[in-house]
Structure 1
Amino acid sequence: MQFLKKRRIWLFSGVLGYALIALALSISQNVQAAQVNVEPAQRLAAVFGKPTHSSPIALSQNNTLVWVVNPDDDSVSVIRTDTNARIATLANVGDEPQSIALDPNNQFAYVANAAGNSVSVIQITNANPATFVARVEKELVTGAEPWNIVISPDGKRVFVANSAQDTISVIRTDAPNARTVIGSIDLRNSACNGETVAQRQRHFQPRGLAVTVPDGTGNATVLATRFLSFVKPGGVQGDDNGKEGVVCQIGINTNASNLDQVTLKPTKLAAQVTGFKIDANGDGVADDTSAYPNQLQSVVIRGDRAYMPNIAASPSRPIKFNVDTHAYVNMVSGVNSGTLVDAQAINMHLGARLRTDGKQKLFFSNPWAIAFTTQSGNGAAYAVSAGSDLLVKLRVEANGALNFTTSVSETAYVDLNNPDDAATSGANAGKNPLGIVINDAGTLAYTMNYVSRNMSVVDLASDRVVKVVETSDLPDPNSFDEVLQVGKEIFFASRGVFAGPQDTMVSLKNRLSSEGWQNCASCHFAGLTDGVIWQFTSGPRKSIALNGSWNPHNPDDQRVLNYSGINDEVQDFEPNIRNVSGPGNLPTTPPQLDPNHGLLIGNDGNINGVPDPLTTISGVANAGRPQHTVQLPGSDKLVPALDAMSEWVRFAVRTPNRPLTTAELNAGGGSATGGVNAGDVNDGRIVFLQAGCQTCHGGGKWSNSVKDFASPPPPELVEVEADPNGPNEAPNPNGFESVTTVLENNLSFNLGVPGANNPVPGQPEIGAVEKDTANKDALGKDHDGDGKGEGYNPPSLLGIYSVPPYYHNGACETLLCVLENVNHRRSGLRAGQADPLDAAAARAKLVSFLESIDADTAPATNLRLNRHDIFLEPAAAVAGTTVELGANISLFGPRVPTFTPGPLKVTFYDGSPGAPGTSVIGEADLAGVDADFGTTTVKVPWTVPTQLGSRRIFVTVDAADLFKEDNERDNTANRRVHIRPLVADRTAPEVSNVRINDDAAITSAPEAKVTFNAVDPAGAPGEQVSGVKQFSVVRYTYDTWSRRWVEEVSAFRELPVANGDGSFTVDTKLKPREGVAYVQVRVRDDAGRISRAGFDAISFVPGPETNLELVRNDTRVFRVTLNAGQSMRFTFTPSLGDVDVSVFQGISLDAPRIAVSALNGPAAETVTFTAPAGGPTSFQIEVRAAATSRYRLAVADGLGSAQLAADVIAPSKEIATAPIVGDIPPLQTAIDEPTTVFVPLIGQ
């Protein structure tokens, strides 16, 4: 969920690997050596007297302390229950803590860190609330994405649900080998995931965990829920009854030292009638609707039953709020007997149909957790409605059945976010509750509220909030993180509270859906997917994962949205808020927009008005339109709500981690069970490239769909499938607008649909029928025969393993099924090429690679050429002379030392290829590129024509298309060359000894002075010397989004009067952004000849009182050169966010890292480095933002012979061991106009 995206580093030391596991282990061992020893008998004296379950909030066995995880700042808060005061915040747990389990003796806590792939072990040395002391003892790498953790009631075993690894890790807490992983349970290859080999290719994604009280011999049952539901035998996608949930029953003994006797057995959870009706067939008769359980995040045992709150899915048409998502609590009985039985579900939405208690009518969106006041007999249950910010009260019968508290249509609730009540408004609002615990007396409940970063204390006698405790700080007012926080609030809210003047006539609350029924997260868990195929207005469509909407390494690289390109902005989903989640238009003639729902307001900014027009893609851009605003507690800023949500999707949706390899699990102290074979992954990457998969799934977002236009798209890009026949005659296409230029056709329309004659060989036909919500023919086919509209917008492969099913209509539930589709897998091959995936072994290896793609996976390589990459040496083209015509060919992605087949051809043309009169100047071989994101230069000789004037030089890379890429459009570039007459001065001038600010290493101001020497040397006998006349200074900074040096174009200017020593000094202004800056100086003589470049570098470091900002995932690069024995210290002090700092000795991609500081949270990061003996040494300092950060930078030098700083690093941090850039800006010059200098681009 995070929801806040952490560091994203492309790792190239092999495709796989966590660079710092060994370092993290060494720290774990050092910390462990200093721990306080606790006798086993003492530790295991206490037990929990009831079943335990996973949760983001936990209550100590003696009910004195509440522990809450804080996913956004990687910390855990501890609150004492007698005063409701926060007594501790433990920072430096792993990345994105999501769940916590407590030792019944109050001596250890265990935290599951989803993004960190680890469990933090916290030692409690003093559990007295008045003198509380605890610290992180160590971290254990258990597997990918450990979302939930639970301890057995006897305290002997801890169970960890590694969601992306499909395993349950088991940690022993008793001696010997206390707090170590004794093994893992493989759920993917178990009966719980299916009986057939094909079914066991599915991604189980274990989430909720619960453990029964062990019997006298230690036998206990662990329940683990499967997060997403899969198609049942005989079922299909897009059908209310098509899928089933699963809870896995694991038999285990908490005294066993291994897992040899573990048993696994699934219990299936069937779809249930929802209790809501709708006319699905248009015959005037209301039909029953059903829904299947889905998004099973938690499970709680009470008595002989287990309870699983979830967001049930009812995907059949029509798509309307009250018949799509439902608030289920599914139950199984027989927990204590060992034979589980599906005990059906209660739909809590039915209890929201009537209100007689004076409260507003609100539905209960996104049930996420549940807790009980008693463990047997009659009692009450409180279910968390994460979207509506409510606690839903249910009556629990003695037999465990759930009922509503008042009537069949009404049940009580507690509002945690009522803006009209001081106890629950402003800073006291409880937003997006994700967990709940109730004390043993059944009198008080505590809720973990994720978005508001606080904990609500609820008196269960009065069902009122009596206290709210802040668990972590909200973002600083007026910061970019504040914008992201508002965007997150909108995304996870089904109601919403908005700002507005006192005389506002429209509603300033409950605008996001009809009476709180659902929110964006109802279908996009954590911004990802619910795995449901909905019968949308464009046809059957999976809720597409939003993490691939933007390149996680470049927030300016966006994919066109949806499977058919029907949206190009997140803001285009305003109609969904109004018409799918909301009640739709007002019942007027003609229908009018409801001013009390949605986020856009009147075009003139009138808060009481409605937008005109309301569009999904064409007409107007929806970003930046007048809209409702949100004001966070403690801030004076009114943040536009819809735009903020777009920014949250753009920057903060985290791609799930890939499964860990066997070696990584072993190195991290985990169990190798479920580990991935790294060799298979590397082999699969090769097959990926051989099969041409990158033609549709390349680049940093793993999709060749690019939004390369400003919104709204030009009319010529927008297509509507016209109806070629009369009404109700086939084909009968829907009239949705879409951008068809991004579509790729792999013949997947009607794929896997029963009876449609487009099966996936050897796979069950489960695809959803190609009809939209109005029963018209779906998009994806060229229904009107105009040559447009065939195919689908290629989805991103980022985290693809964690977001099944696959294809727009869910025709495949596994990646292996996708590769069995011959039409698809061969769509990227060259004409006549053999299919490298014909062999089953090759397909299996490609599946391993596809499952490994996350935001840290190096992208498929792409070649790139820009017009500024074309150059001449000498720089001036003189008629009748011979020059070298060259091109810098850039690589976006991992190095390719040898192109196979190859070499590739780089062809230089005088004129446009294929045009009359065009001639080939020459052809050069491109054998390979040896550096990641590197550049290779090729050259050919050119005899400059004698005809004066301008000519167009074209360069084409790999015209034969030997190397498959996602973007072939950037393989050709052209530039204009100005041919000059031959003059008497034929020798170019020279530049030397360039120095910025007298060769200083650092400047605190962007204004700088550049000094250089320039001469116009004598040439051959008879040549004239015209003398240097003009200069040009080109400045560079490094851009980590595009992985290139960015130049600033500079014109030639007249040289100033020379200094006394014959040098020249000119003023320049560096780009006002901290980091290294290069300047290249060229001079031109009076005859028009241009020198080669001289250069120097300086690091711009604003004063130590200057606040600097760094957007998450971005990096700043500093470079300094020190004399032997000289030292320098950089101190980065964040006031917001989290930065990590590395120092490399030397300027190359092979430069060794000599120092690193990478603490969690806003901690000061300091690195010190010293130049060794032997002469001047250059150093590269890189600061990366793990979260959007505000920091100050102080630099001290002249420290003498200081020791290198020791590595300081938080466990489980992923810090690259190689520099992000290892070269300098290229020195060739490209000149378009006689007076303008351009410098080549070197990266995408």
Structure 2
Amino acid sequence: MYLSARSVRFFLPLTTLCFLCLLMGQQRASAGQSNSLMDISADGKLLACSNRDSGTVTIVDLASNKKQSEIKVGKHPEGVTFLGKSHQLATAVYDEDIVVFLDADSGKITGQTEVFDEPYGVASSSDGSKIFVTLDYPGRIVEIDTHNHKVNREFSSGSHLRGIAISNDDQSLFTTEYYTALVRQIDVASGKTTDEWPGGSTDNLSRQITLHPRRAKAYLPHIRSRITVAHGAGSIFPIVSIVDTKPGEGKRRRKIPMDSFRGARVTCNPWDTAITPDGKTFFVVFAGTDELYVCNVIDDDYRELTFRSSLRLGHNPRAVRVAPDGNTFYVYNSLDFNVVAYDTQTLRPRAIIDVTENPLDEEILLGKRLFYTALQPMTSRLWISCASCHPDGQSDGRTWHNPEGLRNTQSLAGMAWTHPIHWSADRDEVQDFEHTIRGPLMQGSGLVRGKINPSLDAPNKGLSRALDAMAAYSNTHEFTLSPYAKKGLSPAAKRGRELFFSKQTKCASCHSGPFLTDSVPSAKIVRHDVGTSVDNPGEKMGPAYDTPTLLGIYRTAPYLHHGKAKTLEEVFTIYNHDDQHGNTSQLSKQELADLVEFLKALPYEDPVPQAKAAGMVKVSK
């Protein structure tokens, strides 16, 4: 095609204008594109923040940088989003299995929607007519109509979903699996997976995903859990992974190690990311080392990010968001209970906004800060914190090659009622973990001055205010009721209960009491040989093990101390050698299915009243 000088003179401005319009069309003019504990309204006037410990959502007026209102929504809210361009918003209340809708201007709840279990991430369509919510367990996406608050549909997408983002054209969802960091692209119209980007075998704890506003890129913070090395210098690594979301082009997925991103400086537990509207500046917060990295976004499909600067933050930062005009970014310091506004260019703080009062006892707050930090006196190498393996008291879904043998990470729920601790029952108080803090895994200076007592010997309780505080926090984690028993036990679960407590199976000979374990705080430590040590040739402390509680077992696969049983069925079949772990070999296929249904329904009632009635003593610290 030949263009005259005159046509070129008119053609170039026209093409430039079209290109600019294309870029503007790619930018999202509404809030709520990706999940976070914070969101900013599309007009830049309001900020919403979920306060997990308070069970509230706070609305901040950004003109004055003052708290406008705080609304009680339920136990442990997580993701929050404004709906399109409006001041309506929604939050996922993790422990109550509900999504709560609010009006930010009035500070009032406008409705709620019950979901199956553990809603975590939430993202809004550009017009605000619907939201998409990830259910951590069992790995579903729920689409909810924001006008009538009814569920339009549900579709499965892997397991343990947390991160979610919606494309600028509202046609695709991008999700992350919590325990694998696998990214999926899902067609909104059909609910079907159209593409996926697997992570490495060690990728873990991926909570959030951010989409580039102009390019086909997705960014997700997560860690690598190198289970073969139980050492502070080589177990946990901070990562930002970048996915090329345009089909068939570029390198599909690449990792940027954050522990070597700025030379020798190590960081811990990347939690949330954000990017400026012009796509040029990237932020990532590290909840373990209390800092933020400011990065340049490089459009070369090779380096991707370069380090610009860093900021020291408050305690346990869990969210970062950028204002629509790109001039200000906000960081949520979850254990200071505040949001700090920073100038995007100078990186200087503009305002500190208290979003909620500290709801925790001062001892619990100190213990929680210690539990989440990767700084001294807890660790010296900065790679790892207690929360790297037990985030919010849950499991990291991994089986570690510990010096004593394979050890499947356990949840801390109910631990205050089920001492001693560890599969080998080698700790009779949380204070004994001072040995772990000082040992090769964490390499910290410790919370006690001078010598400490051996585990299972004289108490370490009382030797240090800080150590007692960490124990007090560790013992606060509670169970939530099973989603499989919301309407009571099913007929199959009732039949399974009869089998469980029967003399035929003898399950209750060890799994007894309100917490279904004979491991209770007392002077006597009980261990049982259930034949599972033969599956782990490297075992050094078996063959007898502590009896774990069965409450909440529906969501804690894999099973057994070695983590080799992928399902509850395998516990009773492949890994129940000679019926040492209950008499189950004679069960029919239907009876085995009934037994599994009962276990999935645990807990179907609160065990604490029964424990108190039985005279059991809870360990407070």
Q: Same fold (TM over 0.5)?
A: yes
Equivalent residue runs for 1:588-667 within 5 Å: 597-601=445-449, 611-612=450-451, 614-625=452-463, 627=464, 640-650=465-475, 652-660=476-484
1:483 aligns with 2:363: yes
- CA deviations on 1:347-376 (whole Å, 9 max, x unpaired) are 10112543xxxxxx5x22111110012454
Partner of 1:779: 541
Whole-Å separation in 1 of the counterparts to 2:345 and 2:53: 33
1:207 aligns with 2:165: no
- What secondary structure sits across from 1:547 in the alignment? coil
**Structure 2 unaligned blocks of 5 or more:** 1-26
Whole-Å separation in 1 of the counterparts to 2:168 and 2:362: 44
Partner of 1:562: 422
1:101 aligns with 2:30: no
Whole-Å separation in 1 of the counterparts to 2:291 and 2:55: 26
- TM-score normalised by structure 1 residue count: 0.45
CA shift, 1:385, in A, is 0.3
Whole-Å separation in 2 of the counterparts to 1:338 and 1:685: 52
1:803–1:822 distance in 2 versus 1, CA, 3 Å: closer
Whole-Å separation in 2 of the counterparts to 1:341 and 1:660: 42
**Contact 1:168–1:184 (8 Å) recurs in 2:** yes
**Contact 1:142–1:160 (8 Å) recurs in 2:** no
The residue type equivalent to 1:301 in the other structure is L
Equivalent residue runs for 1:1066-1081 within 5 Å: none
**Contact 1:51–1:301 (8 Å) recurs in 2:** no
CA shift, 1:386, in A, is 0.8
Whole-Å separation in 2 of the counterparts to 1:581 and 1:456: 33
Whole-Å separation in 2 of the counterparts to 1:600 and 1:402: 44
**Contact 1:47–1:155 (8 Å) recurs in 2:** no
CA shift, 1:211, in A, is 0.8
CA shift, 1:340, in A, is 10
Partner of 2:191: 262
- CA deviations on 1:555-582 (whole Å, 9 max, x unpaired) are xxx3211111121111111122122354
1:315 aligns with 2:240: no
1:226–1:618 distance in 2 versus 1, CA, 3 Å: same
**Contact 1:836–1:842 (8 Å) recurs in 2:** no
- CA deviations on 1:1108-1134 (whole Å, 9 max, x unpaired) are xxx999xxxxxxxxxxxxxxxxxxxxx
2:275 to 357, 366, 372: 372
**Contact 2:321–2:329 (8 Å) recurs in 1:** yes
Partner of 1:36: none
- CA deviations on 1:704-738 (whole Å, 9 max, x unpaired) are 123421xxxxxxx8xxxxxxxxxxxxxxxxxxxxx
More helix per residue? 2
**Contact 1:548–1:795 (8 Å) recurs in 2:** no
Partner of 1:247: 183
- CA deviations on 1:579-633 (whole Å, 9 max, x unpaired) are 235447xxxxxxxxxxxx21111xxxxxxxxx22x344144311111x3xxxxxx
2:154 to 177, 184, 200: 184
CA shift, 1:442, in A, is 2.6
1:154 aligns with 2:135: no
Partner of 1:198: none
The residue type equivalent to 2:580 in the other structure is S
CA shift, 1:825, in A, is 8.8
**Contact 2:42–2:324 (8 Å) recurs in 1:** no
Whole-Å separation in 1 of the counterparts to 2:520 and 2:576: 24
- TM-score normalised by structure 2 residue count: 0.88
Whole-Å separation in 2 of the counterparts to 1:582 and 1:836: 43
Whole-Å separation in 1 of the counterparts to 2:66 and 2:619: 32
- What secondary structure sits across from 2:57 in the alignment? strand
**The structure with more radius of gyration:** 1
Partner of 1:536: 402
Equivalent residue runs for 1:1008-1047 within 5 Å: 1041-1043=612-614
Partner of 1:997: none
1:680 aligns with 2:492: yes
1:1112–1:248 distance in 2 versus 1, CA, 3 Å: farther
**Contact 2:100–2:111 (8 Å) recurs in 1:** yes
1:369–1:1045 distance in 2 versus 1, CA, 3 Å: closer
**Contact 1:84–1:469 (8 Å) recurs in 2:** yes
Equivalent residue runs for 1:829-868 within 5 Å: 829=582, 835=584, 838-854=587-603, 856=605
- What secondary structure sits across from 2:529 in the alignment? coil
1:570–1:855 distance in 2 versus 1, CA, 3 Å: farther
- CA deviations on 1:476-504 (whole Å, 9 max, x unpaired) are 8xxxx222122111111222xxxxxxxxx
- What secondary structure sits across from 2:528 in the alignment? coil
Whole-Å separation in 1 of the counterparts to 2:242 and 2:616: 59
CA shift, 1:855, in A, is 7.5
The residue type equivalent to 1:133 in the other structure is S
Whole-Å separation in 1 of the counterparts to 2:619 and 2:581: 34
1:1112–1:212 distance in 2 versus 1, CA, 3 Å: farther
- What secondary structure sits across from 1:620 in the alignment? coil
The residue type equivalent to 1:370 in the other structure is T
- CA deviations on 1:1161-1194 (whole Å, 9 max, x unpaired) are xxxxxxxxxxxxxxxxxxxxxxxxxxxxxxxxxx
Whole-Å separation in 2 of the counterparts to 1:252 and 1:109: 21
1:67 aligns with 2:35: no
CA shift, 1:292, in A, is 1.8
2:94 to 108, 111, 114: 114
Partner of 1:452: 336
- What secondary structure sits across from 1:653 in the alignment? coil
1:474–1:134 distance in 2 versus 1, CA, 3 Å: closer
- CA deviations on 1:832-858 (whole Å, 9 max, x unpaired) are xx7476322222222222222137356
1:164 aligns with 2:137: yes
The residue type equivalent to 1:599 in the other structure is L
Equivalent residue runs for 1:286-301 within 5 Å: 292-301=202-211
1:327 aligns with 2:238: yes
Whole-Å separation in 1 of the counterparts to 2:489 and 2:127: 36
Whole-Å separation in 2 of the counterparts to 1:69 and 1:847: 36
- What secondary structure sits across from 1:642 in the alignment? helix
Partner of 1:304: 216
The residue type equivalent to 1:485 in the other structure is L
CA shift, 1:689, in A, is 1.9
**Contact 2:92–2:98 (8 Å) recurs in 1:** yes
**Contact 2:101–2:110 (8 Å) recurs in 1:** yes
CA shift, 1:686, in A, is 2.2
1:795–1:441 distance in 2 versus 1, CA, 3 Å: same
1:855–1:294 distance in 2 versus 1, CA, 3 Å: farther
1:155–1:616 distance in 2 versus 1, CA, 3 Å: farther
Whole-Å separation in 1 of the counterparts to 2:325 and 2:338: 23
The residue type equivalent to 2:462 in the other structure is G
Partner of 2:172: 221
**Contact 1:150–1:159 (8 Å) recurs in 2:** yes
1:519 aligns with 2:402: no
Root mean square deviation of aligned Cα = 3.0
The residue type equivalent to 1:299 in the other structure is I
**Contact 2:298–2:306 (8 Å) recurs in 1:** no
1:657–1:616 distance in 2 versus 1, CA, 3 Å: farther
- What secondary structure sits across from 1:364 in the alignment? coil
Whole-Å separation in 2 of the counterparts to 1:412 and 1:470: 25
The residue type equivalent to 1:689 in the other structure is F
Whole-Å separation in 1 of the counterparts to 2:373 and 2:240: 20
Whole-Å separation in 1 of the counterparts to 2:258 and 2:81: 28
- What secondary structure sits across from 1:414 in the alignment? strand
Equivalent residue runs for 1:418-497 within 5 Å: 430-475=314-359, 481-495=361-375
- CA deviations on 1:1180-1224 (whole Å, 9 max, x unpaired) are xxxxxxxxxxxxxxxxxxxxxxxxxxxxxxxxxxxxxxxxxxxxx
Whole-Å separation in 1 of the counterparts to 2:454 and 2:297: 46
**Structure 1 unaligned blocks of 5 or more:** 1-45, 125-131, 188-192, 194-203, 230-244, 254-260, 272-290, 355-360, 417-429, 496-509, 552-557, 585-596, 602-610, 628-639, 665-675, 710-716, 718-740, 752-768, 772-776, 781-789, 860-891, 894-1039, 1047-1110, 1114-1244
CA shift, 1:263, in A, is 0.9
CA shift, 1:341, in A, is 7.0
CA shift, 1:170, in A, is 0.7
The residue type equivalent to 1:225 in the other structure is T
Whole-Å separation in 2 of the counterparts to 1:307 and 1:620: 49
The residue type equivalent to 1:205 in the other structure is H
Whole-Å separation in 2 of the counterparts to 1:349 and 1:855: 43
